[in-house]
Structure 1
Amino acid sequence: MSQSVLSLFRDGHAYMSTWPVKKELYPHFPECKVISATRFSIAVMPPVAVVCSAMLFNTLGGDYLPQTLAIGAFFLSLPLQGILWLGHRSNQTLPPALKSWYHEIHGKLQQEGCEVHSRQSEPKYRELAALLKSAFDQLDKVFTRRWFE
């Protein structure tokens, strides 16, 4: 199933805001590191692109304008690459080990009376993100700690 780039950006942005960036999840999922790096690059890369482009243009002059613009575009593309990766990842189906973990957490949340979305038979990473966010928001640390020890 091919998706448009715009839908990947939309999915990546939604996934970035849904995924709980918690210290317990860092060793298990690359999402935490990618989200942190993407948020940092969203804040830092536009000024870096402007400063680098201005310095190159000032130093090398108009003869090197294409190279200067290419370097600026590179720095501006870094946050977009993170968002695209997140969008692609959010649409991937969970592997079997994570799928059983998803079902276990979903069952525990329902057992505790928490409000959760309906259980998916073929969950994707975006459903796992929503479930983990619900677990961290609604359950006590005692319950969530046993999943990450």
Structure 2
Amino acid sequence: MMERWVPAIAVVNAMLHWQFLHAYWQQGLLTSLVILSMPLQLIAWFGWRANQPLPRRLRGWYWELRDKLKQSRAVLKKPTDGGPTYMDLAYVLEQALSVLPPDQH
């Protein structure tokens, strides 16, 4: 969704600065560049966050789902060294939603 709206918002921002605040068009251009960089910033943030270890309250849920998947003979990837990460949790959740019946999630 952001890929669709962010460029339009950046262009509207630049045009409004050019049309109504002609003396401040440089700030409008800079603001538009920051707006255009937001999706890349989010990709970088989520990439960094995916490799962070799970907090204690989510680890129990991760291991519980993993045990249920083992009982159903699903093929599982080993967790990352140093404990499960958010990416490991996402993988286990994806497996659980596709393999386990809805009452066991």
TM-score normalised over the length of structure 1: 0.61
Write the distance in 1 (CA, Å) between the matches of 2:80 and 2:26.
49
Name the counterpart of 1:70.
Answer: 30
* Rg comparison, structure with higher value: 2
Q: Are the structure 2 counterparts of residues 127 and 56 from structure 1 closer, same or farther at C-alpha, using a change threshold of 3 Å?
A: same
Which structure carries more relative contact order (alpha carbon 8 Å, separation 6+)?
1
Q: Which amino acid aligns with 2:14?
A: S
Write the distance in 1 (CA, Å) between the matches of 2:67 and 2:41.
35
* Paired residues of 1:46 and 1:76 also in contact (CA < 8 A): yes
Pairwise CA distance, 1:120: 4.7
Pairwise CA distance, 1:96: 2.2
Gaps of 5+ in 1: 1-39, 145-149
Structure number with the higher helix fraction is 2
Name the counterpart of 1:104.
Answer: 64
Write the distance in 1 (CA, Å) between the matches of 2:51 and 2:79.
16
- Is the deviation greater in 124-133 or in 48-57? 48-57
Secondary structure at the residue paired with 2:95? Answer: helix
Gaps of 5+ in 2: none
Write the distance in 1 (CA, Å) between the matches of 2:27 and 2:40.
20
Q: Which amino acid aligns with 2:91?
A: A
Percent identical pairs in the alignment equals 34
TM-score normalised over the length of structure 2: 0.83
Secondary structure at the residue paired with 2:54? Answer: coil
Name the counterpart of 1:139.
Answer: 100
How many pairs are equivalent?
A: 104
Write the distance in 2 (CA, Å) between the matches of 1:128 and 1:45.
30
Q: Which amino acid aligns with 1:111?
A: Q
Q: Which amino acid aligns with 1:43?
A: R
